[in-house]
Amino acid sequence: MKNQSKSSPRFSFFFALAIALSSLSIGLSSCTATYDAVSSGNLQQITNTLPTLMSKGIGNFADYRGEVAKAKELLTTAITHASTVKNNKEAIGALTTLNEKIALPFFALWEEKGKVSGPAVDEAVSNARKSLESLTKIEATKKGAPK
Amino acid sequence: MPDFKNDISKALNGLDTQVILMVSDFVKRRKKHYEEAAAKLHLELKTDVERYGVMLLEGVITKDEFEMLVNSRTGLLKIQILEEMAISKAKFEEIAIEVAKLAIKAVFLLL
């Protein structure tokens, strides 16, 4: 009796519908980016280096030229990789903004003036740290991100 | 076949109120959250830019540094808004998945 009911058109119809609805739920969850170790590693490296390097802004730029070049490269690498991840609009936007509005203008001023004043450095570092906190939260919203 | 369609239609229609309540509750909660977040972000931005202004007037920072800081603070605001968007998107997906699960459950119950 059970076998008969399973092979009936009614069962087949419901089964097909159930599969269609399951696919819908899977499809809905694919609107957010998937967590990946490279993005996470890049962000961790930026978090470990950028604020510390910016805090050296009270010193001579010439002494930190190499480190600044590395930090710029790190940011570019992170943006380039983020752009390859699907549905990653928020992370790309946040990284690009961190680079273009926070890091690069600070480095440009530091290079141009040779030094940045202590209070300006403190404020800029605080903005960079808060931005990185937001970026960490964006990473945490990704599918499969460690909780 | 029309009978099956009727059964499904009835089962799914029975979910209408539940789905409407789930979604409207979600929208209300997010709206309240957005209003609070917008007020908080605005206040923080105002406080910070005012502080930069005072530092400039007192000669603690230069005009170039002031401009760099305002630019940087605007960037931070944009990043914080992107953070809110990412969180909302993830939460929206949670509710959409809940609605889909409800429909799947209703159809499975007919089997």
Do A64 and A135 have their domain in common? yes
Nearest CA in chain B to A145: B90
Do A15 and A75 have their domain in common? no
* Cα B45 from chain centroid (whole Å): 20
Q: Which residue has the higher pLDDT, B101 or A10?
A: B101
pLDDT at position A23, please?
55
Mean pLDDT of A123-129: 98
A39-90 pLDDT, tens digit each:
999 999 999 999 999 999 999 999 999 999 999 999 999 999 999 999 899 9
Number of domains chain A is built from = 2
The answer to the question of residue A54 being in a domain is: yes
What values do phi and psi take at A143, rounded to 5? -60, 125
Measure the CA–CA gap between A129 and A50, rounded to whole angstroms: 9
The answer to the question of residue A145 being in a domain is: no
Q: Which residues contact A45 (CB under 8 A, 6 or more apart)?
A: A74, A78
Do A11 and A68 have their domain in common? no
| Domain encompassing residue A5 | 1-31
Mutate to test the interface with B, among A21, A34, A147 (most CBs of B within 10 A): A21
Do A20 and A81 have their domain in common? no
Place of tokens 């929206």: B92
Nearest to B61 among A17, A120, A131 (CB): A120
Kindly indicate whether the ipTM for this predicted assembly is greater than 0.85, answering yes or no. Answer: no
Do A39 and A73 have their domain in common? yes
B78 touches chain A (CB under 8 A): yes
The answer to the question of residue A147 being in a domain is: no
Measure the CA–CA gap between B107 and B5, rounded to whole angstroms: 11
First-to-final CA distance of chain A: 47
pLDDT at position A5, please?
47
Do A61 and A133 have their domain in common? yes
Taking CA atoms, B10 is separated from A11, A23, A112, B14, B20, in Å, by: 17, 22, 72, 6, 16
Nearest to B93 among A15, A32, A91 (CB): A32
| Domain encompassing residue B38 | 2-108
Contacts of B103 in chain A (CB under 8 A): 21
Measure the CA–CA gap between A92 and B69, rounded to whole angstroms: 22
Contacts of A131 in chain B (CB under 8 A): 75-76, 79
Answer yes or no: are the C-beta atoms of A102 and A54 closer than 8 Å. Answer: no
Q: Is pLDDT of A4 > 60?
A: no
pLDDT at position B97, please?
84
Share of chain A above pLDDT 90, in %: 73
Q: Is pLDDT of A109 > 80?
A: yes
Residue A86: name the closest of A34, A24, A143 by CA. Answer: A34
Do A12 and A44 have their domain in common? no
Do A80 and A136 have their domain in common? yes
Band the pLDDT of A3: cuts 50, 70, 90: very low
Contacts of B64 in chain A (CB under 8 A): 109, 112-113
Do A24 and A64 have their domain in common? no
Measure the CA–CA gap between A130 and B80, rounded to whole angstroms: 9
Do A78 and A123 have their domain in common? yes
B7-38 pLDDT, tens digit each:
777 777 777 788 888 888 888 888 898 899 99
Do A64 and A84 have their domain in common? yes
Nearest to B65 among A22, A91, A109 (CB): A109
